[in-house]
């Protein structure tokens, strides 16, 4: 199908066309890159007033249940919800924590929701780049609430934080020391901490966890955008406290827009996106060169036989092929 035709369908909200376009964008095949670039460029031209929400938390914390409840609330209010996932585990092993199970059953049947299992790729950076591009496509298809989900392991939170407006950390209460095991960086990135499973016997411990997290958040320096991260409790399964999370996100969007931080953050993310794409292109074009492929094998053999240090080999390869005189 021609790019323009596909874009027309995407703009009309056709989910199949959107899924096809994402597949093209995710593809590593050179023949797909050309059409993907045209699609992206045309989709970027479409103005959108979306909110991009990052959500993270350890497996089992209730991310899918939360997104399902939250997503249904959003579609009931007339929004269109897209859920994309970054799964660092899928780049390491073929398996994936996020992508494989049947998730968000009800939301996936909602005509105003689009759920895309996690992208796969060689590196987290590459996967993140593709996810960023998929956001653009979803927005062109009219999705105005974009969820980027990741598991709370590895480095993926930083990647997600770099492509969203609001970063939500989902936590559990009553799992021993509340603050243990949370990487400092993730707490620091969070715009809200939501303690899920605040139901049944858990209500009391969720409340005390809320107090504890609120106190802990005060220890961090104030954010550049003047936003004070909040702690909330909810029960995704009982659909309690979900509306309050949306109200908080709305307040965040409104105040950061008024103060200009919302747009400023997107601009800075665009610049990072540009650098990230340059890096990807350089890498791709470098390794695609026949001469590079030809020189790579002997250098690997030399490293194996201790004839050259990995450091020197890298210098040699790059210097030789970046220098036009050779
Ligand atoms: P994910 O791995 O973070 O996506 O977590 P899931 O959404 O798959 O939830 C893991 C388990 O926790 C499932 O058995 C859910 O039914 C359960 N769960 C999710 N949210 C809640 C909640 O608010 N309360 C209770 N009691 N259980 C929940």
Q: Spell out the domain ranges in the chain.
A: 1-44, 47-259, 274-322
More confident call, 231 vs 154: 231
Per-residue pLDDT of 259-303, as tens digits, reads: 999 999 999 999 998 998 898 889 888 998 999 999 999 999 999
Q: How many CB atoms lie within 10 A of CB 35?
A: 17
Question: Where residue 136 falls among pLDDT bands split at 50, 70, 90?
Answer: very high
Distance from C-alpha of 211 to C-alpha of 190, rounded to nearest angstrom? 16
Does residue 67 carry a pLDDT above 50? Answer: yes
Q: How far is CA 281 from CA 34, 138, 287, in A?
A: 13, 23, 10
178 alpha carbon to ligand 1 midpoint, in Å?
A: 18
* Distance from Cα 60 to the centre of ligand 1, integer Å: 6
CB 272 within 8 A of CB 100: no
The per-residue b/e assignment along 100-137, b for 16 or more CB within 10 angstroms, e otherwise, is: eeebbeebeebebbbbbbbbebeebbbbbbbbbbbbbb
Given a cut of 80, is residue 151 above it in pLDDT?
A: no
Is the pLDDT reported for residue 183 higher than 70? no
Give Cβ neighbours of residue 191 (< 8 Å, ≥ 6 apart): 166, 167, 168, 227, 229, 230, 252
Is it true that domain 1-44 has CATH number 1.20.5.170?
yes
CA max distance for the chain? 72
Instruction: Indicate which residue's Cα is closest to atom 22 of ligand 1.
Output: 197
Pocket residues: Cβ below 6 A from ligand 1: 57, 59-65, 196-197, 199, 235-237
118 CB-near residues (< 8 Å, 6+ apart):
84, 85, 86, 87, 90, 96, 98, 99, 127
Q: Which residues are bridge partners to 115 per DSSP?
A: 83
pLDDT at 78 over 70: yes
Judged against a pLDDT cut of 50, whether residue 108 lies above it is answered with yes
Comparing CA positions, the residue from 144, 146, 164 lying closest to residue 49 is 144
Report the separation in Å between the CA atom of 185 and the middle of ligand 1, taken as the mean of its atom positions. Answer: 24
Please give the Cα distance from 123 to 128 (Å, whole number): 9
Query: CA 215 to CA 211: how far, in whole Å?
Result: 6
CA–centroid distance, 71 to ligand 1, in Å, is 15
Residue minimizing CA distance to atom 7 of ligand 1: 62
Pocket test for ligand 1, best of 152, 237, 244 (most atoms within 8 A of CB): 237
The answer to which of 26-40, 135-149, 307-321 has the lowest mean pLDDT is: 26-40
Beta bridge pairs of residue 233:
195
Q: How far is CA 100 from CA 30, 62, 131, 212, in A?
A: 27, 16, 18, 34
Max mean pLDDT range (92-96, 168-172, 180-184): 168-172
Q: What is the CATH number of domain 47-259?
A: 3.40.50.300
pTM of the model: 0.89
**Candidate from 62, 64, 105 with most ligand 1 atoms within 8 A of CB, to mutate:** 62
Per-residue pLDDT averaged across 112-133, rounded? 81
pLDDT tens figures, 15-49: 999 999 999 998 888 888 889 999 999 999 888 88
Which ligand 1 atom is at minimum distance from the Cα of 234?
23
Instruction: Say how many Å lie between the CA of residue 237 and the centre of ligand 1.
Output: 7
Q: Whose CA is nearest to atom 20 of ligand 1?
A: 62
- The DSSP annotation for 114-132 comes to EEEPPP--SSHHHHHHHHH
The predicted model gives 203-221 an average pLDDT of 90
Q: What are phi and psi of 61, to 5 degrees?
A: -70, -20
Predicted pLDDT at 152: 63
Q: How far is the CA of 316 from the centre of ligand 1 (A)?
A: 52
Please report which confidence band the pLDDT of residue 177 belongs to, taking 50, 70 and 90 as the band edges.
very low
Ligand 1 mean position to 154 CA, how many Å? 21
Mean pLDDT score of the chain, rounded to an integer? 88
Three-state secondary-structure class, residue 103? coil
Q: Residue 95: what pLDDT?
A: 54
What was the pLDDT predicted at 240?
97
Q: How many CB atoms lie within 10 A of CB 6?
A: 22
């Amino acid at each position: 199908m021609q790019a323009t035709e596909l874009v027309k369908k995407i703009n009309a909200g056709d989910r199949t066309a959107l899924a096809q376009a994402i597949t093209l964008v995710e593809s590593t095949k050179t023949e797909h890159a050309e059409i993907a670039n045209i699609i992206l460029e045309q989709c970027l031209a479409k103005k959108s007033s979306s909110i991009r929400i990052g959500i993270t938390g350890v497996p089992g914390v209730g991310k899918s249940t939360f997104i399902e409840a939250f997503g249904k609330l959003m579609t009931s209010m007339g929004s269109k919800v897209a859920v994309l996932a970054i799964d660092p585990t899928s780049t390491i092993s073929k398996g994936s924590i996020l992508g494989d199970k049947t998730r968000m059953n009800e939301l996936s049947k909602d005509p105003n929701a689009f759920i895309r299992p996690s992208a796969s790729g060689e590196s987290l950076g590459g996967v993140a780049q593709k996810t960023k591009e998929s956001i653009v496509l979803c927005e062109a298809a009219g999705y105005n609430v974009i969820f980027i989900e990741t598991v709370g392991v590895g480095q993926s939170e930083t990647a997600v934080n770099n492509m969203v407006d609001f970063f939500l950390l989902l936590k559990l209460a009553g799992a021993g020391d509340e603050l243990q095991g949370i990487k400092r960086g993730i707490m620091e990135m969070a715009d809200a901490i939501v303690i899920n499973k605040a139901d049944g016997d858990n209500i009391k411990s969720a409340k005390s966890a809320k107090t504890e997290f609120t106190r802990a958040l005060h220890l961090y320096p104030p954010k550049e955008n003047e936003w004070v991260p909040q702690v909330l409790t909810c029960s995704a399964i009982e659909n309690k406290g979900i509306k309050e999370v949306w109200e908080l996100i709305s307040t965040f969007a409104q105040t950061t827009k008024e103060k200009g931080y919302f747009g400023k953050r997107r601009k800075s993310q665009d610049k990072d996106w540009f650098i990230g794409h340059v890096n990807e292109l350089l890498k791709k074009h470098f390794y695609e060169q026949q001469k590079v492929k030809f020189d790579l094998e002997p250098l690997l053999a030399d490293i194996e036989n201790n004839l050259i240090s990995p450091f020197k080999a890298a210098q040699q390869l790059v210097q030789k092929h970046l220098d036009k005189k050779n």
